[in-house]
Amino acid sequence: MTGSGRSEQVVLLLNVDSHRKIWNLPEGTVEAITGRFPQIKVLRAQDGASLRAQLPLARILYTWHLPSHLFPLAQRLEWIHTPAAGVDHLLYPQLRQSDLILTNCRGIAADAMADHIFATMLALARRLPESVRFQSQQRWGREIIWSTAPVPFTLNGKTLGIIGLGGVGMELARRASASGMTIIASRRTGGKAPKFVAKLVKPEQHAELLAESDFVALTAPLTSETRGLIGRKELRRMKKTAYLLNAGRGEQVDEAALIRALREGWIAGAALDVFQREPLPRNSVLWRLPGLLITPHYAGTYPEHMGRATRLFVENLAYFLAGKRKKLRNVVDKQRGY
């Protein structure tokens, strides 16, 4: 959708304003961009009406989301950058089939997400969710914890299976390896395993990874191949003492199968940061399941996110305006979905 306007002034449309301070543009961003790139015009869409009005002018869009019904208005648009890592919400047919460049911020939340997943492993291993419940009840629950399975254990000597050895998976593997865990990981492209990964497999070998792991972490992007990745068959392949960890996308797990697995003891427990429906409804069975640790989709959250995301965007903006599009970082393969 590169149409007319190449000889006209480049218009950059910023559509990342939020009522939540943590997801807002860093203070002074607009002034910094206009000062560094005086040849472009910067517009700011702070609501749906201004996005609709200004989208036809834009050649560059920095946004969390461009709804499919507004896509036909983007007649001059050449490049979209999003501060998110996941782009499944952007890859509707019209955008996927267009010649638009799409870049994302994969990797900048890798540390936060790895910390979060590692923290949930520790919490499950040491039975912290139960201790928190005992605290709220002013109850000394030591005898229950000592006398019921699983007795609190250490991560040292356990095996972590990581499905999706990208940025988050790599950082999680570093942390787990430093704690004495053995790492099995999968990556679509295979290749040589990093020194802290004992075994690297391809997706067709997931059955092996599931059977050998004490914890299974999902850190792969949401694509047609990973949608419904963990269902009844996969949960049955896991150890009865194993735990499932998901901080990627809720659509990767069959929640009905997981509910049954936790109720019937196919696996020991799970930690979920993402769900098929969000916010998770108050009447969801998931709230009441034994062995399930729930966090409300904040694994990738940390105060510096938007600053790092915007610095990456500005770096790419310099390449784009210089005609060096091959140097753009984090270009998304729109057919593969990441």
Active site residues: 249, 278, 297
Type of residue at 198? A
* 221-237 burial code (b ≥16 CB/10 A, e <16): bbbeebeebbbeebbeb
User: Residues 278, 299: contact at Cβ < 8 Å?
Assistant: no
Strand 243-246 versus strand 269-272 pairing type: parallel
Structure token pair of residue 130: 């139960």
Q: List strand residue ranges (DSSP E) for the chain, in order.
A: 10-15, 40-44, 60-63, 79-81, 101-103, 159-163, 182-186, 199-201, 215-218, 243-246, 269-272, 292-294
Beta bridge partners of 44: 14
Q: Residue 246 and residue 223: Cα distance in Å, rounded?
A: 15
* Cα dist from 259 to 54, 256, 264, 271, whole Å: 46, 5, 9, 12
| Cβ partners under 8 Å of residue 135, min gap 6 | none
**201: helix, strand or coil:** strand
Residue 176 sits at the vertex; the CA angle it makes with 173 and 180, to the nearest 5 degrees, is 130
